[in-house]
Amino acid sequence: MKLSWKSIPYRAARNLGTLGLVFLFSSTGSLRNFNFVAAALLGTGVLISYAVMAAWEYLVWKNYSYSIEEDKIKIMQGVIRKNQREIPLKRIQNVDISRNIVHRVVGLSKVDLETAGGSDTEASLKYVEPREGERIRDLVKNGAESEGDMEVEEEESEAFYEISDGKLVLLSAISLDRKTLFGFFTVFAFFSAGLGVAFENLGLPGTLILSILMTGTVVLIFVSNFVINFEKYYGFRLWKNSDSLRYERGLLNRKEGSIPLDKIQTVTLEENILKRLTGYATLKVETAGYSGEKAARQGSEAAIPLDSRKAVNRFAEKLQDFETPETMNISRRARKRYLVRYILVLLPLVVLTFVPGVPEAVTALAVLLLLLSPVAAHLKWKNRGYSTGKDHFRTVNGFWNRKTMMTPYYRIQNLIETQTVFQRRWKLSSLTMDVAGAGKIMENPVIHDVDAETAEKLHGKIYSSFQESLDKESRESQGN
Cα–Cα dist 259/93, whole Å = 7
Distance from C-alpha of 301 to C-alpha of 47, rounded to nearest angstrom: 42
Q: Quick: pLDDT tens for 369-405.
A: 999 999 999 999 999 999 988 888 899 999 999 999 9
- How many residues in total does the chain contain? 480
Instruction: Return the sign of the alpha-carbon dihedral for residues 316, 319, 323, 327.
Output: negative
CA distance 473 to 480: 11
CA 70 vs CA 118, 145, 198, 246: distances in Å: 23, 8, 72, 22
Query: Is residue 15 predicted with pLDDT exceeding 60?
Result: yes
Pairwise CA distance, residues 267 & 285, whole Å: 5
Is the per-residue pLDDT at 55 higher than 60? yes
Could you report the per-residue pLDDT of 313-325, keeping only the tens digit for each? 888 888 877 777 7
Q: Does 91 have pLDDT greater than 50?
A: yes
Tell me: pLDDT of 296 over 50.
no
Which pLDDT tens digit goes with each residue over 204-254?
A: 676 677 778 888 888 999 999 999 999 999 999 998 877 788 889 999 998
Say yes or no to pLDDT of 428 above 70. Answer: yes
Phi-psi region of 454 (alpha: psi -120 to 50; beta: other; left: phi over 0): alpha
Tell me, what's the pLDDT at 179?
82
For the chain, the distance separating the N- and C-terminal CA atoms, rounded to the nearest angstrom, is 34
Q: Answer whether 287's CB lies under 8 Å from 264's CB.
A: yes
Mean pLDDT of 59-82: 89
The residues near 353 (Cβ < 8 Å, ≥ 6 apart) are: 362, 363, 366, 367
Nearest of 240, 263, 260, 238 to residue 248 by alpha carbon:
238
Per-position DSSP letters for 385-454, written without gaps between them: EEEE-SSEEEEEE-STEEEEEEEEGGGEEEEEEE--HHHHHTTEEEEEEEETT-SSSSPPPEEEEEEHHH
Rounded Cα distance, 76 and 86, in Å:
9
One DSSP character per residue, 281-334 reads EEEEEEES-S-HHHHHHH-SEEEEEEEEHHHHHHHHHHHHT---PPPEE--HHH
Q: How far is CA 301 from CA 20, 23, 142, 238, 315, in A?
A: 35, 38, 21, 12, 15
Question: What band does 201 get if pLDDT is binned at 50, 70 and 90?
Answer: low
**Of the candidate ranges 189-193, 223-227, 282-286, the one whose mean pLDDT is the lowest:** 189-193
The share of the chain scoring above pLDDT 70, in percent, equals: 82
% pLDDT > 90, the chain: 35
Average pLDDT, the chain: 82
Are 110 and 125 contacting, i.e. CB atoms less than 8 angstroms apart? yes
Domain boundaries, the chain: 7-27+36-62
